[in-house]
Amino acid sequence: MVALFVALTFIIFLVIDFFVLRSQKKVHPAFMPNSVFDKSSIYFPGKYLLSKGHIWLQALKNDTYKLGLDEFVVRAMNNIVINTIAEEGTKIKKGDVLFSGTAGGHPVAFYAPVGGTVSQINTNILNKNIEDIYNEDWGVILQVESQAKIQEIAFEAVKAKAWMQSEFKRLKDFLTIQTAEPELAGLTMADGGNIAEGAVSMLSDKVVAAFENDFLKQ
């Protein structure tokens, strides 16, 4: 009975807290829609690097890097489906298209942050939503032309996270300018709050193209 008493007390406190929050017109984090993100929830793994085109790089060996899309861009666009990936063995230059596909049905492309040879591609990401951003859903393994170039174009983890947070602010400004219907972009944007996940791809092809130009091309 003691066990039951303690367990019920714990649950009752959680339930009371839920109603207290409700009386304050707040929502418990567990019941917030998944489709909201803010700068404090953006995560970037240590030891990874990040380019300004929102492509992460993980150093492997012998000048090879694993590349993928970062959390910011995946959550800003949401429902990103990759249809084509640069072919294995091809040489690409910085700024060439690395992956292309759709975001919420709008065409979008992602660009190589650095030149090199594509040594391996992850076909598992084709034609499905990107979900496991920093692990299973990587895009390509690239043998880079120059190790020194990596230092020029990529942030290390600590700085990357801060930079992504500044991108969050830039995204708010972008959405405010791009749309005449700001409610599409955010739930509480006016007071500096959250942006609805996938806000970019809720808009037109033109806005997605502008986002690609402003955020994905370096």
Partner 1 sequence: MKAAFLRLTFWKVIAVAIITFGLYSTFLRFTQGLASVTNLSDSFPWGMWIGFDILCGVCLAAGGFLICAITHIFNIEEFKPLTRSAILTAFLGYVMVVFALLFDLGRPLNIWHALIMWNPHSVMFEVAWCVMLYSSVLFLEFSPVILERFQLTRLLKIVKRVSLPIMILGVLLSTLHQSSLGSLFLIVPAKMHPLWYSPLLPVYFYLSAIGTGFGMIIFESYLSARSFNKGLEMPLLSRIGLFAAIFVAAVFVIRFSDLALTGKLHYLLIPCQETYMFALEIVIGMIIPFAILIQKRNRQSRKWLYFGSVSLIVGALLNRLNVSITALNGFSKANYFPSVNEIAITMMLVVIGMIAFKYAVQYLPVFAEEEHTEVLDTNVVVENE
* Contact residues for partner 1, defined by CB under 8 A: 1-7, 10-11, 14, 17, 20-21, 23-26, 28-32, 34, 37-43, 45-47, 71, 131-134, 158-159, 161-162, 165-166, 169
Q: How far apart are alpha carbons 150 and 19 in whole angstroms?
A: 51
Task: Using the minimum distance from each CB to partner 1, give the nearer residue, 74 or 207.
Answer: 74
Task: Using the minimum distance from each CB to partner 1, give the nearer residue, 67 or 208.
Answer: 67
Tell me the closest approach of the beta carbon of residue 44 to partner 1, in angstroms: 9
Return all residues near 112 (Cβ < 8 A) that are at least 6 apart: 55, 67, 86, 92, 93, 94, 95, 96, 97, 98, 142
Q: How far apart are alpha carbons 101 and 96 in whole angstroms?
A: 15
Tell me the closest approach of the beta carbon of residue 132 to partner 1, in angstroms: 8
Task: Using the minimum distance from each CB to partner 1, give the nearer residue, 42 or 50.
Answer: 42
The neighbouring-strand residues paired with 102 are 81, 107
Q: How far apart are alpha carbons 57 and 65 in whole angstroms?
A: 6
Task: Using the minimum distance from each CB to partner 1, give the nearer residue, 42 or 92.
Answer: 42
Tell me the closest approach of the beta carbon of residue 198 to partner 1, in angstroms: 15
Write down the residue that tokens 């830039």 correspond to: 170
Tell me the closest approach of the beta carbon of residue 126 to partner 1, in angstroms: 19
